[in-house]
Amino acid sequence: MRNILASALLLAAASFSTNASALDSSATSVVVTPLASKTTTASGQPITLPQKNVEVQVSSYQIAPGATLPVHQHPFPRYAYVEAGTLKVTNVETGASNTYKTGDFIVEMIGQWHQATNIGTDPVKLLVIDQVEQGAKNTILKQ
């Protein structure tokens, strides 16, 4: 009986270690491709997070060819992954602009007025992630 129990424990331990190694980054069934690593926004600001009750909001945006978003700003961090298209974002305070294309990752400027234009011939598709104080909106339109 003691040998059966010891064998069962060894089998369980072997099974656990096999399953644990399947989650290891060296497992061939999982491929991780880093897409971006950023510490500053598009305008060079350090990324700062909300100080209380953080809420993560995820949205999908589709911007038609030639469309320009109104001048706006974000009080909290906003990140965007360009799934398709070409987007030009202009900081209206400084006049500096950046152009983003499919596969680019954007860390939007915080508290600075800017606007974006689809400068391509296809729709721009964005996956947008906001980190806000719970219940807050992350887009303020310029009056």
| CA nearest neighbour of 129 among 83, 89, 81, 79 | 79
Architecture of domain 54-141: Sandwich (2.60)
Res 31: pLDDT: 87
Lowest mean pLDDT among 24-28, 77-81, 96-100, 107-111: 24-28
Instruction: Give residue 6's identity as a one-letter amino acid code.
Output: A
Question: For the segment 30-68, what is each residue's pLDDT rounded down to a tens digit?
Answer: 888 888 899 999 999 999 888 889 999 999 999 999 999
**Pair of tokens at residue 39:** 């510490």
End-to-end CA distance of the chain: 80
Residue 49 or residue 126, greater confidence: 126
Report the predicted TM-score, pTM, of the whole model to 2 decimal places. Answer: 0.76
Q: How many angstroms separate the CA atoms of 53 and 133, rounded?
A: 5
pLDDT reading at 112 higher than 90 = yes
Interval 64-87 mean pLDDT: 97
Domain ranges of the chain: 1-32, 54-141
Would you say 98 and 40 are in contact if contact means Cβ atoms under 8 Å apart? no
Instruction: Kindly tell me if the per-residue pLDDT of 9 is higher than 80.
Output: no
Mean pLDDT of the chain: 85
Indicate the range of 23-32, 54-63, 97-106 predicted with least confidence. Answer: 23-32
Residue 141: which residues within 8 A CB-CB, separation 6 or more?
Answer: 70, 71, 72
Cα distances (Å, whole numbers) of residue 67 to 31, 50, 73, 93: 36, 31, 18, 21
